[in-house]
C-alpha cells in the first residue's frame, strides 16, 4: 500500500478514508499483540477520517495532499495532549503540552495520526530491545529485530497498518530499520526539517524523516515536513547550500576501501548486484576514497554521548516525568535517574560525561569535532567528482533478539550510516534484494548519499531504481 | 578506568549506580573508550580542519507570543509536586548555614 495508490482510490471512489482507517485498526488489532509496533492508538482517527472523506468529496484533486492518509508517529515526537514517552520509564506518564512543528505540518496536509510507535529508549539503540516497554518484532521474521531506534515505525509500515510512519535518525535510526524491514527510509540534510517538538538526543545529528513503501511517498512526506522554522534556529534556508540539480545519468561513487571489513559476504554480493543494475540503467559507477569515513563510528561514539549527557540532564524528577524521593535534592536526582533510565541510556550518559570532563575534553570531544570537520572537507572533495555515493545500508540483515549483547557489536551496525549524520548530508535507504538466513528471505538495503541539500537527487535516483518510475 | 572513577562519573551524571552496574559499566566503557581512541591516529594538519563546522548565531526578536498563563496549567499538571501555581522542590538551603 502506498500513499499514491490510496490517493488514487480515494479520488476514484474505490475506497474511502473511513474504510482505510478501519482497515488500519483491524490490522493493528490482529497483529500488534505479537509485533508490538504501537505503544498508543488514537481512536479519534475515525472522526478525522470522516472529515477527510468530506473534504475529498467536495474538493477532489484539490484536497490536501495527505487527506485521509493514516500515519504512525515515533513516540519521541510530541503531539499535544498525547503521551510522549520516548519509550522510557522516566516519561511513562508524560503528556505532551505542545505539538512538534512536523506534527502541525502533517496534520495541515490532511494526514491522520492513528498511533505512536515503539522505539529504543530515547532513540538509543539499533533493535528496539532498549525500549522500557518491550521490543518490537520484525514482521518479516518475528525471531528477529525490526532494527532501531525507529523499529516500531518500521514494523508499523511493514505489517501493513500504515503506508507511512515517521522516525528520527541520529546515526541511522530511520535507514537501518528500513533496511531490516524492506522499506524506504529517508534522512534529510541536517536542518531541512524542524526539530522543534522532538525529544533531543544528539542535537547536532538528529533529523526526522519518513519510512515508506515507495520513494515517491518518502518525497511527498518529506516535502510536507521540511522548511524553515523560527522555533528551530538550525533549520536551513533555500540558499544555505549551493543548489543541487538532478540529472539524467548519475556518476556514483563507491568507497570500496570502507566495505572490506565486517560486511556479510552475501550482503556485499547484493550490493555489487545493485551496482550492476545501476550501470545497466546507464549510470556510471566509480571507486572513491573516503578514508576518514572508516573513523566515523569512533567520532560518533564521542560526539553523540556528549550531546546525550547534556540533553538528558533535563530529566531530573522536578518539573515533569518520574520522580523518586530521596533525603535531599541530590538524592531525588540520583534516585529518579537511577530508576527512570534504562541501561543503555545510563551507559551513554556516563560515557558522555567522561568525554566532556575537564582534562579529557581536548582528547575526545575536541578531537572528534575536528575529525568531523575533516570528514566534511573530505566528502566535499569527493562530491566535486561524483553526484551520489552508494554503500550497503547495514553490514548484515536483521539479527536475532539477544544476538548483540556486547554494546560495541550493536554499535557496529551503524558503520555506514553515522558518517552521514556527522557530516549533515542527506541519505536514503532503498530495498536492494534479500539474503537467506535460516530459510527466510531477509531484506537488505542500499544507501544513497547526496551532497548537502541534494534531496532531489536521492528521490530522483531512488524513484528510477526502486519505484521504476 | 577504576571502579572509583565509574562511581564518580555516576555522581557527576546524577545517577545512583549499584555495585553490579559499576562492575558492568567499568569494562564496557573501557572497551568503548579504547575503540573511540582510534581518532587520535588522525593528524589534523591544516588550520581549516580545526575549525568547527558551519556554526553561526541565529537571532529573532525577543517578543512575547503567548498570553499570560496560557500554558501554565498544562505545564504544572506534569510536575510531580506542586503547590498552587508553583513547582514544589526540596529545601536546598539549610537555615543553620
Tell which residue, A227, A226, A73, A217, has the closest CA to residue A156. Answer: A73
Mean per-residue pLDDT of chain A: 96
Best residue in B4, B34, B36 to probe A by mutation, most A CBs within 10 Å? Answer: B36
ipTM: 0.92
A-contacting residues of B 63-92, CB under 8 Å?
A: 71, 74-75, 77-81, 87, 89-90, 92
- The C-alpha atoms of residue A453 and residue A237 are separated, in whole angstroms, by 10
Residue A59 has pLDDT above 90, yes or no: yes
Provide the percentage of residues in chain A whose pLDDT is more than 70: 100
Q: Are residues A373 and B90, on separate chains, in Cβ contact within 8 Å?
A: no
Q: How many angstroms separate the CA of residue B15 from the nearest CA in chain A?
A: 4
Kindly list the domain boundaries of chain A, sorted by start residue. Answer: 1-251+391-469
pLDDT of A396 reads 96
Q: Are residues A351 and B52, on separate chains, in Cβ contact within 8 Å?
A: no
Q: Other C-beta atoms within 10 Å of A401: how many?
A: 15
pLDDT of B52 reads 56
Average the pLDDT over A260-271 and give the result: 92
Q: pLDDT tens, A412-463?
A: 889 999 999 999 999 999 999 999 999 999 999 999 999 999 999 999 999 9
Average the pLDDT over A198-222 and give the result: 98
Q: pLDDT tens, B46-85?
A: 665 566 556 678 888 889 988 999 999 999 999 999 999 9
Q: Are residues A374 and B44, on separate chains, in Cβ contact within 8 Å?
A: yes
Confidence label for A176 from pLDDT (cuts 50, 70 and 90): very high
| Domain A1-251+391-469 falls under CATH 3.40.30.10 | no
Q: pLDDT tens, A6-47?
A: 999 999 999 999 999 999 999 999 999 999 999 999 999 999
Provide the percentage of residues in chain A whose pLDDT is more than 90: 94
pLDDT of A279 reads 98
Burial of B2 from C-beta contacts in 10 A (0-12 / 13-18 / 19+) = exposed
pLDDT of A130 reads 97
- The C-alpha atoms of residue A383 and residue A75 are separated, in whole angstroms, by 35
Q: Which CATH number fits domain B3-41: 1.10.20, 1.25.40, 1.25.10, 3.30.70?
A: 1.10.20
Q: Which residue has the cell 531504481?
A: A465
Task: Spell out which residues of chain A touch residue B37, defining contact as CB-CB under 8 Å.
Answer: 298
- The C-alpha atoms of residue A13 and residue A16 are separated, in whole angstroms, by 7
Residue A127 is among the residues annotated as catalytic for this protein: no
Q: pLDDT tens, A134-147?
A: 999 999 999 999 99
Residue A74 is among the residues annotated as catalytic for this protein: yes
pLDDT of B54 reads 61
pLDDT of A141 reads 98
Main-chain dihedrals φ then ψ at residue A166, nearest 5 degrees: -95, 135
- The C-alpha atoms of residue B17 and residue A204 are separated, in whole angstroms, by 29
Best residue in A242, A299, A311, A354 to probe B by mutation, most B CBs within 10 Å? Answer: A354
Q: Are residues A321 and B92, on separate chains, in Cβ contact within 8 Å?
A: no
Q: Which residue has the cell 496560557?
A: B70
Q: Other C-beta atoms within 10 Å of A402: how many?
A: 10
Task: Spell out which residues of chain B touch residue A372, defining contact as CB-CB under 8 Å.
Answer: 53
Amino acid at each position: 500500500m502506498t500513499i499514491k495508490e490510496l490517493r488514487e482510490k480515494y479520488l476514484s471512489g474505490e475506497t474511502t478514508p473511513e474504510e482505510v482507517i478501519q482497515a488500519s485498526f483491524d490490522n493493528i488489532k490482529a497483529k500488534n499483540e505479537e509485533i508490538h509496533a504501537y505503544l498508543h492508538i488514537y481512536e479519534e482517527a475515525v472522526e478525522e477520517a470522516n472529515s477527510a472523506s468530506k473534504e475529498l468529496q467536495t474538493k477532489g484533486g484539490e484536497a490536501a495532499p495527505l487527506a485521509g492518509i493514516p500515519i504512525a508517529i515515533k513516540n519521541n515526537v510530541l503531539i499535544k495532549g498525547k503521551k510522549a514517552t520516548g519509550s522510557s520509564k522516566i516519561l511513562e506518564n508524560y503528556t505532551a503540552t505542545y505539538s512538534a512543528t512536523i506534527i502541525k505540518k502533517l496534520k495541515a496536509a490532511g494526514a491522520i495520526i492513528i498511533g505512536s510507535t515503539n522505539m529504543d529508549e530515547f532513540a538509543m539503540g539499533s533493535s528496539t530491545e532498549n525500549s522500557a516497554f518491550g521490543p518490537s518484532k520484525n514482521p518479516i521474521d518475528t525471531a528477529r529485530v525490526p532494527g532501531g531506534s525507529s523499529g516500531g515505525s518500521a514494523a508499523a509500515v511493514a505489517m501493513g497498518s500504515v503506508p507511512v510512519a515517521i522516525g528520527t535518525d541520529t546515526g541511522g535510526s530511520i535507514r537501518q530499520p528500513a533496511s531490516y524491514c524492506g522499506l524506504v527510509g529517508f534522512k534529510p540534510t541536517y536542518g531541512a526539517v524542524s526539530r522543534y517538538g522532538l525529544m533531543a538526543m544528539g542535537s547536532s545529528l538528529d533529523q526526522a524523516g519518513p519510512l515508506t513503501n515507495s520513494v515517491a511517498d518518502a518525497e511527498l512526506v518529506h516535502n510536507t515536513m521540511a522548511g524553515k522554522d523560527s522555533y528551530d534556529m538550525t533549520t536551513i534556508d533555500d540558499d544555505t547550500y549551493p543548489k543541487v540539480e538532478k540529472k539524467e545519468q548519475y556518476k556514483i561513487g563507491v568507497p570500496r576501501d570502507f566495505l572490506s571489513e565486517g560486511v556479510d559476504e552475501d550482503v556485499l554480493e547484493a550490493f555489487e548486484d545493485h551496482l550492476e543494475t545501476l550501470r545497466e540503467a546507464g549510470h556510471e559507477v566509480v571507486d572513491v576514497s573516503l578514508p576518514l569515513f572508516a573513523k566515523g563510528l569512533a567520532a560518533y561514539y564521542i560526539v553523540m554521548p556528549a550531546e546525550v549527557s547534556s540533553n538528558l540532564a533535563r530529566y531530573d524528577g522536578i518539573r515533569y516525568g518520574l520522580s523518586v524521593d530521596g533525603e535531599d535534592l541530590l538524592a531525588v536526582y540520583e534516585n529518579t535517574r537511577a530508576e527512570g533510565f534504562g541501561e543503555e541510556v545510563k551507559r551513554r550518559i556516563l560515557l558522555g560525561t567522561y568525554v566532556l570532563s575537564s582534562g579529557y575534553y581536548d582528547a575526545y570531544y575536541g578531537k572528534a569535532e575536528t575529525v568531523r570537520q575533516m570528514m566534511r572537507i573530505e566528502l566535499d572533495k569527493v562530491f566535486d567528482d561524483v553526484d551520489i555515493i552508494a554503500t550497503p545500508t547495514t553490514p548484515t540483515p536483521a539479527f536475532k533478539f539477544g544476538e548483540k549483547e556486547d554494546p560495541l557489536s550493536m554499535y557496529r551496525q551503524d558503520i555506514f550510516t553515522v558518517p552521514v549524520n556527522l557530516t549533515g548530508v542527506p541519505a536514503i535507504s532503498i530495498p536492494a534484494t534479500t539474503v537467506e538466513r535460516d530459510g527466510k528471505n531477509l531484506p537488505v538495503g542500499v544507501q544513497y548519499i547526496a551532497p548537502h541539500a541534494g534531496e532531489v537527487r536521492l528521490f530522483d535516483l531512488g524513484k528510477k531504481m526502486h519505484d521504476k518510475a | 578506568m577504576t571502579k572509583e572513577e565509574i562511581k564518580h562519573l555516576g555522581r557527576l551524571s546524577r545517577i545512583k549506580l549499584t555495585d553490579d552496574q559499576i562492575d558492568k559499566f567499568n569494562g564496557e566503557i573501557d572497551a568503548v573508550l579504547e575503540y573511540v581512541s582510534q581518532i587520535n591516529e588522525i593528524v589534523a594538519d591544516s588550520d581549516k580542519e580545526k575549525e568547527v563546522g558551519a556554526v553561526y548565531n541565529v537571532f529573532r526578536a525577543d517578543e512575547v507570543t503567548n498570553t499570560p498563563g496560557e500554558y501554565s496549567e498544562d505545564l504544572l499538571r506534569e510536575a510531580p509536586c506542586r503547590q498552587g501555581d508553583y513547582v514544589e522542590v526540596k529545601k536546598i538551603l539549610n537555615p543553620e548555614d
